[in-house]
Every structure is written in C-alpha cells, then in structure tokens.
Amino acid sequence: MNTTGFIRGYMSKNQEGEKYLDHVVGVIEQQLQEIDENYEAEVTKIEEYKISVRNNNQAIHIKISKPQLLKLQSRSPYSLDKYIWTNLTKNGVEVTNANGNYLDYVFR
C-alpha cells in the first residue's frame, strides 16, 4: 500500500485525535488485509481507546489513552502507526514486505 508523507503530516497536525486514530487504524487494517483478507481492525472508546485486531481465532487488543494518542499524533505523522505495529508484532503479527511504501514510512 502506498502513502504520501506530506498528506499524512497535514492530517496529523490538523485532525482531531479520535478522527486521526480512526484513519490510522483503517490504514493498518488495509495493510493487514494485503497479508490476509481475514484481518479486521476497529477502535472502541470507553475511558480510553481500545484497538482490536482480529484474524480468524486470534484477537489482539491495544489500549491507548487520550494523552498518549495526542502525544504520538504530534510527535510525527507515523508515530501512532509505529506504536500500533510494534504492539502487533510483539503479539505475533508478522510484518511482511507488501506492495507500496507505507511500512517504509512507518519503520524508518
């Protein structure tokens, strides 16, 4: 999957945190579906945000507080992505080379 750093930078600086998180999780879901079409990702919010990623019988849950979200969002355009991907890989999701430059931006 391809991405544009300029546009992502604009989004990270100008979108409200929850809307930005929804966008990032949607992008991560698209990337995961390039690996396996059974992946699903969603965001729920109670007191903090919970990102749930599912694939067949596996479910991974990542919690993030609003202050943490805002800190990652303001740090750099792909810091939030990197935080989520790092947690996914720690829980057994394999990051494979896929088409496009998205993962290059995330892990640079």
- Which runs of consecutive H residues, i.e. helices, occur in the chain? 5-14, 17-35, 66-75, 79-90, 102-107
**35 in any annotated domain:** yes
When divided into structural domains, the chain yields a total of 1
Mean pLDDT, rounded, of the chain: 93
Identify whether 47 is part of a domain: yes
Mean per-residue pLDDT, 31-60: 94
In a domain, 17, yes or no: yes
Domain encompassing residue 75:
5-103
What distance separates the 2 farthest-apart alpha carbons in the chain?
A: 37
pLDDT for residue 81 is more than 90: yes
Q: Does residue 56 register a pLDDT over 80?
A: yes
Average pLDDT over residues 52-65: 95
Determine, yes or no, domain membership for 108. Answer: no
Q: What percent of the chain has pLDDT over 90?
A: 78
On whether residue 41 sits in a domain, the answer given is yes
